[in-house]
């Protein structure tokens, strides 16, 4: 009887090692797949960013904006000068025609802001992203690469 009992233990141990080996192989395969797909995605993003960097860019000044901020209890004003860094494109060689639409989009975004939202660096960075999205809606997808404040004062 002891011989049968020992044989059962040995086969049980072998089963455990086989199951552990199969699980390890599955986990290793999953890890390889995960990291390989993540690397290929980041390569695609890097290639897209490199394409955008290679295209010539130009700075488009939008002149000065003076807007009332959306503070209800106290009149607050924002004076800001903005330049847009855009990808130079034959379609948009003459941006003078688009400037009124761009200025309108900027005024719409600026006039919705409150004084406290724009005090911090994070608030200004968030504003830049909102302005970038608004201007890209006017010009087309990803034309505006960066929004630059050349003057910024609030009262």
pLDDT of amino acid 10: 65
pLDDT tens digits, 37-47: 666 666 666 66
Query: Do residue 45 and residue 112 come from a single domain?
Result: no
pLDDT of amino acid 78: 96
Domain that holds residue 89: 56-154
pLDDT tens digits, 62-102: 989 999 999 998 999 999 999 999 887 766 556 788 899 99
pLDDT tens digits, 45-65: 666 565 555 678 888 899 899
Query: Do residue 35 and residue 48 come from a single domain?
Result: yes
Query: Do residue 77 and residue 149 come from a single domain?
Result: yes
pLDDT tens digits, 94-151: 678 889 999 999 999 999 999 999 999 999 999 999 999 999 999 877 889 999 999 9
Query: Do residue 86 and residue 36 come from a single domain?
Result: no
Partners of 78 in the β-ladder:
67, 154
Q: Are 135 and 84 in contact (CB under 8 A)?
A: yes
Query: Do residue 75 and residue 124 come from a single domain?
Result: yes
Closest CA to 76 of 23, 22, 123, 117: 117
Query: Do residue 64 and residue 126 come from a single domain?
Result: yes
Last residue of a domain, one of 54, 69, 84: 54
Burial 5-37 (b: 16+ CB within 10 A, else e): eeeeeeeeeeeeeeeeeeeeeeeeeeeeeeeee
Q: Are 150 and 76 in contact (CB under 8 A)?
A: no
Q: Are 83 and 94 in contact (CB under 8 A)?
A: no
Number of domains making up the chain: 2
Radius of gyration of the chain (CA): 29
Query: Do residue 78 and residue 139 come from a single domain?
Result: yes
């Amino acid at each position: 009887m002891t011989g049968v009992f020992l044989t059962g233990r040995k086969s049980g141990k072998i089963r455990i090692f086989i199951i552990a080996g199969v699980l390890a192989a599955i986990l290793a395969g999953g890890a390889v797949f995960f990291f390989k797909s993540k690397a290929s995605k980041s390569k695609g993003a890097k290639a897209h960013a490199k394409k955008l960097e290679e295209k010539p860019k130009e700075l488009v000044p939008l002149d000065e904006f003076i807007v009332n901020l959306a503070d209800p209890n106290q009149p607050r004003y924002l004076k800001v000068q903005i330049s847009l860094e855009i990808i130079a494109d034959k379609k948009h060689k003459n941006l003078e025609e688009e400037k009124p639409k761009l200025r309108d989009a900027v005024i719409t975004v600026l006039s919705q802001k409150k004084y406290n939202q724009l005090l911090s660096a994070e608030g200004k960075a968030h504003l830049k992203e909102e302005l970038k999205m608004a201007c890209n809606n006017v010009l087309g997808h990803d034309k505006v690469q960066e929004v630059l404040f050349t003057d910024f004062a609030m009262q």
